[in-house]
Structure 1
Amino acid sequence: MRAVLFFLRKIWAFAGSKLYMNIAGMVAVSLLEGIGILLLVPMLKAGGIGGFQSGSTPLSPLSSQLSPEMILPVILLIFVLVMLGQVYFKRFVTLQNMRISQEFDLMMKKETYQKILDAEWSFFLKKRKSDLISSMTSEIGRVNGGVTLSLQVLVSVIFTMIQIGISFWLSVPLTISILISGSLIFLFSRKFLRRARGLGSQSTQSARALLAGVSDQLSGVKEIKSNQLEASRLQWLDKATRKIHQEQLEFFRLKTSTQLLFQVFSALLIAGLVYASVQLFHTTLEQLLLILVVFSRLWPRFSGLQSSLEQIASYYPAYVSLEELRNQCDEAKELTTEFVRDSGLTFNDSLECRKVSYRYEKDSRAYTLQDINIKIPVNCMTAIIGKSGAGKSTLVDLLMGLLHPDEGELLLDGVSLSQKDLVKMRQLIGYVPQDPFLFNDSLRGNLLLVKPDACEEELWKALEFASVDQFVRALPDGLDTQIGDRGIRLSGGERQRIVLARAMLRAPAILVLDEATSSLDTENETKIQEAIARLQGHITLIIIAHRLSTIREADQVLVVDEGRIVQSGKFGELEREKKSLFNQMLQNQGYETTPIAYKSSI
């Protein structure tokens, strides 16, 4: 139960004095409830119910000091005050527990999300997005529920200890009998806890599988509709949800089985208790009444403890999963917020890879990139080409500081970059991916993400540069137009140009385009190529290209094959190497020697 103790320590450190106040309130509630029980016999006696012997209860001395006509009013007044005090403290404890639970849930979500965001890029390459979403939502909720239940168990334990003390005061033999019976049934019910833990593990995996499936299918809903897969997807959902419902039903059966066990045992124990009290221990009527009242309050606590422990056991896999995620994030941590506020870096000469090698699986002998030696001059265009899987995107991720070399080093202006410097360097870079990502927000909100203090003029200047300003002006709501999930209300070309405008809003020293025009039509490709042409000679351009005709004006071309740089030079130089990979790629694309011409002006 190490994971459970970890989160209990977390809430203890988080809540601090509030928990101590709650414990004090719990003790007060339990004591007042005990006093209320002890007042029952004097109330019955003062009410004229016969059969009770004078002086036979712990509160009899109080009755002896009052006149007969005052006994009942005083006892009733005390009883009312005790009940009011109990209600007040119980309300205080309940509200405090709710505040602690809500604040702890918020803290856990913020802390866990911070850990996720601080993890390096390679961490996300190995994780399913849906698993991270599950951890941030359902698993944190289950952990918080388990912690809250643990606090309730603490309340039950405190209450039970006080009730046991009162029972010992009334009758030691009968109290020992109850404790032995409760211990035996707890030992017998350990198998229920193991079963609850197993069901909890199954439920966690099933919930993750359902979330992953729904997330994937909603992301590919266009494929589902175009291929008429609705029926099969509904069948999948029916099967997945039925599995979860079956697991929930199994857990409910488990809980009702333990409750049935406690109720049967309770009936047998009460019968045995009454028989032993009368025939063996010769307990007085007053003591027997109080013991039965205490038992009626105490025994359900045993049942409640068992039920709570089963619920906590079912949450245990969520504890383990969340702790593992947090530990993995800590191991993959690459930055803190102080690193990204101000890079303190400038780019004046070149960005260089020197004997750089990288592999995604650290225990593998196979490298994705090996012995990379390149230099990217400032304010020049460098094009990176190669077959699919050659390592182009991995090389760009290294140049952007998203991945860190296993061997070799990156140098900026001749100075070796540390891991912290690689993170800081991202402040110098604007990035336009092949698959542009836009948030479900307005156009304005998506642009301001990279520069929250940008003025209206800066926004329109960036849009104008990306040749998308006229399109935005024609929209009914202009910059405040909502663009839907991942920008689904825009065309591919419009999304690409918006992302280009967002990248340029940062005024980057280096602009990286990862096959940014490969899936565009001729018109949109031309507009982005014209924008790139206007930049040439003014900022550093790193372009992964699929269409070789778009990189003829590059200052250098790097050809990647099987993780190595196999050719480098100007376009014309490589074109003349007839038996090269570059020339083969030209022939495969039916390349014509007449290049596409663009006006270069800024």
Structure 2
Amino acid sequence: MRLLHDNFRKHAFWYICAILSMLVISATTGASAWIMRDVVNHIIEAKDFKIIAMVSVGVAVIFIVKGFSTFAQSYFLSKAGNSIVAEQQRRIYSRLMQQGVAFYQNTSSSDLLVRVTQNANAARSIIDTIVTTFVRDLFSVISLLAVMLYQNFLLSIVALAVGPLAFIGVRQVLKRVRGLMEKELSSIAEIIKVMQETTIGIRVIKAFSLEELMKRRMDKAITDVEMRSNGIAMLESATNPIMETLAGVAIAVVICFSGYMATQRVGVQGELMSFIVALLLAYEPAKRVANVRVKIESGMIGVRMMFEILDHPLTLMEKENPVDLDRSKGDVRLEHVGFSYVKDHMVLHDINLDIPAGKMTALVGPSGSGKSTMINLIMRLYDPQEGRILIDGQDIRDVSFKSLRELMSYVGQDTFLFQGSVRYNIGLGREGATEEEIEQVAKLANAHDFIMELPNGYDTDVGDNGGNLSGGQKQRIAIARAMLRNSEILILDEATSALDSESESLIKEALARLTTNRTTIVIAHRLSTISRADKIVVMKNGKIVEQGTQHQLLQIEGGLYKHLHDLQFKDPDFDDIDHVETSSKNQKKIAK
């Protein structure tokens, strides 16, 4: 009912056109059975050519009207159905865009792909089935039944006796369809998952010779889909022998009985012929009406999954009447902030921190200390369970997502580029940017020279997630994108990590331009990258343990920052503090 309510009314015009066409088809189907009486009585018995010509014209008109009505039904139904698929896909994607990051961490991308593609088509399929079955097929059966009852009431009762038996048989089939459909959809999601992992991780697959393993995974997923599809096909087909057997018995009895009546009475041949034709024509639509529950139940699994996405509570909600964030200085303040991804397991504990406007603040500390979580909260990808975060004195929970995100730029270690050209990816930094502005920021990001060496310059396709570019090239495009945004707050998640020396030097130079007079928050793994930071915040186990300039922190004897600094600069090969354990036993192992 919800499916029909949400979709049928919006596309009522096309469905009404299709329904009217179906009613005409039903009427012409009944008329084609009715006219058989005149064919027999006037052509075979009367032998009147004038009447024969009129009956012939009538037959032609019936089938011409039926042909055009069938075309109209198919066209209008397809038009409405295609619109429903498009609308459902837009609704699902719009809902996904409203969800917070937590939703995506708990939901596999392959599952979402199935819901956006297959489930939207399931919605269309069910509505088409309902409309065609309960309008065209049902009214065809009714019109033909009316012909049968009019021509011979007793034979009609005999023919209708098979209905209850057919209903019982279909109910038994219906019980098993639902479970098989759920398993089939999960197997389709597994196929998509394997394909995603293959395209994204092809280098790892090749490097570790995992081709056979991936083929076995894909083979199992495909086999599961094949087996379940065969099971569903068997169940859907199981109604056929039930209906064929019952219909065959009914038709045989009717023919035998009508033959006996024809031998006893004269002048009933036309009526009997009309009755038998109506009975035979009613068989196919009656079978479809009997099977409609099986078809609907097969599609309803996908529809339920679609509504699960649409009804899933938002993991992060904008305030009902949010205000726009005033774009002024870019001062950030965290007050008594506490946060947990999992209930009763706090990641941040009572964080109080001032991040001054126009200055660089660096976050350092071992893995799991809460650095990335703090950035996620400042960007409002999550909301803290305790405390609040202020930007220029405004609680970020009171402001609109759009005004908050416009205030920030982000450059991460794992740069993500969208499918499209270099120009397109840089231009995403600010909608409506001119070509001159795009090229200007590319020059500031030390990206212009390598871009001009690409086959098509700024129009070169970057490939899937920038697969046609090197890591340093991708980072410089990301920096150009951030420069184009020209936001007050810049967030850097170790933008120079894992790069060669030449790329690192170029990117450091670009970042120096980007961070000038801008509130900059940096997650640092290499301490050499934050030597010029105005404030360094040292974290451990979700708490701030030290903060100050590098000079101040190096004066603290036994301090964590001094220890990390000594480890990194005494051992030239050791440059990643993100995996440092702070226990004395592990420190000795790492130093050794």
The reply to whether residue 43 of structure 1 matches residue 39 of structure 2 is yes
2:296 maps to which of 295, 312, 321: 312
The reply to whether residue 272 of structure 1 matches residue 240 of structure 2 is no
| Separation of aligned partners in 1, 2:91 and 2:438 | 33
The reply to whether residue 451 of structure 1 matches residue 396 of structure 2 is no
Moved more, 563-572 or 505-514: 563-572
Number of residue pairs aligned between Structure 1 and Structure 2 = 568
The reply to whether residue 405 of structure 1 matches residue 389 of structure 2 is no
Unaligned runs of 5+ in 2: 573-592
Deviation at 1:572, TM superposition (A): 1.7
| Separation of aligned partners in 1, 2:398 and 2:159 | 64
**Secondary structure of 1:13's aligned partner:** coil
The answer as to whether partners of 2:418 and 2:425 remain within 8 angstroms in 1 is yes
Counterpart of 2:177, as a letter, is A
Q: CA 1:204–1:539 in structure 2 vs 1: closer, same or farther (change >3 Å)?
A: same
Deviation at 1:333, TM superposition (A): 6.1
The reply to whether residue 146 of structure 1 matches residue 116 of structure 2 is no
Counterpart of 2:180, as a letter, is L
Match of 1:186 in 2: 167
| Separation of aligned partners in 1, 2:11 and 2:205 | 48
**Secondary structure of 1:511's aligned partner:** strand
Match of 2:199 in 1: 218
Deviation at 1:125, TM superposition (A): 1.9
Instruction: Map 1:101-180; keep pairs closer than 5 Å.
Output: 101-154=81-134, 155-180=136-161
Match of 2:283 in 1: 299
Moved more, 391-400 or 532-541: 532-541
The answer as to whether partners of 1:552 and 1:571 remain within 8 angstroms in 2 is yes
Unaligned runs of 5+ in 1: 51-66, 594-602
Deviation at 1:370, TM superposition (A): 2.6
The reply to whether residue 100 of structure 1 matches residue 80 of structure 2 is yes
TM-score by length of 1: 0.89
The answer as to whether partners of 1:41 and 1:286 remain within 8 angstroms in 2 is yes
| Separation of aligned partners in 2, 1:208 and 1:589 | 45
Match of 2:581 in 1: none
| Separation of aligned partners in 1, 2:197 and 2:275 | 60
**Secondary structure of 1:94's aligned partner:** helix
2:7 maps to which of 3, 11, 22: 11
The answer as to whether partners of 2:377 and 2:383 remain within 8 angstroms in 1 is yes
The reply to whether residue 578 of structure 1 matches residue 569 of structure 2 is no
The reply to whether residue 431 of structure 1 matches residue 427 of structure 2 is no
Instruction: Map 1:365-444; keep pairs closer than 5 Å.
Output: 365-444=344-423
1:206 maps to which of 187, 196, 202: 187
The answer as to whether partners of 2:536 and 2:547 remain within 8 angstroms in 1 is yes
**Secondary structure of 1:353's aligned partner:** strand
Q: CA 1:177–1:406 in structure 2 vs 1: closer, same or farther (change >3 Å)?
A: farther
The reply to whether residue 492 of structure 1 matches residue 471 of structure 2 is yes
The answer as to whether partners of 1:115 and 1:333 remain within 8 angstroms in 2 is no
Q: CA 1:377–1:286 in structure 2 vs 1: closer, same or farther (change >3 Å)?
A: same
Counterpart of 1:322, as a letter, is M
Deviation at 1:163, TM superposition (A): 2.4
Q: Deviations over 1:320-356 (max 9, x none)?
A: 111101111x5346459x98xx955313251111122
1:77 maps to which of 49, 52, 57: 57
1:520 maps to which of 488, 499, 515: 499
Deviation at 1:528, TM superposition (A): 2.0
Match of 1:533 in 2: 512
TM-score by length of 2: 0.90
Counterpart of 1:47, as a letter, is I
**Secondary structure of 2:44's aligned partner:** coil
The answer as to whether partners of 1:118 and 1:335 remain within 8 angstroms in 2 is no
Identical-residue share of aligned pairs (%): 26
Q: Deviations over 1:535-582 (max 9, x none)?
A: 444111111110112111111111222222222222222222222322
Match of 1:596 in 2: none
Match of 1:64 in 2: none
Match of 1:56 in 2: none
The answer as to whether partners of 2:177 and 2:298 remain within 8 angstroms in 1 is yes
Q: CA 1:305–1:124 in structure 2 vs 1: closer, same or farther (change >3 Å)?
A: same
Q: CA 1:567–1:333 in structure 2 vs 1: closer, same or farther (change >3 Å)?
A: closer
Say what the alpha-carbon RMSD is for the aligned residues.
2.5
Deviation at 1:161, TM superposition (A): 2.5
Match of 1:566 in 2: 545
The answer as to whether partners of 1:510 and 1:541 remain within 8 angstroms in 2 is yes
2:326 maps to which of 331, 345, 349: 345
Deviation at 1:495, TM superposition (A): 0.6
Counterpart of 2:20, as a letter, is A
Deviation at 1:533, TM superposition (A): 2.5
**Secondary structure of 1:47's aligned partner:** helix
Deviation at 1:74, TM superposition (A): 1.8
Moved more, 168-177 or 25-34: 168-177
| Separation of aligned partners in 1, 2:362 and 2:344 | 29
The answer as to whether partners of 1:345 and 1:425 remain within 8 angstroms in 2 is no
Q: Deviations over 1:78-121 (max 9, x none)?
A: 22222222222221111100111111111111121111112222
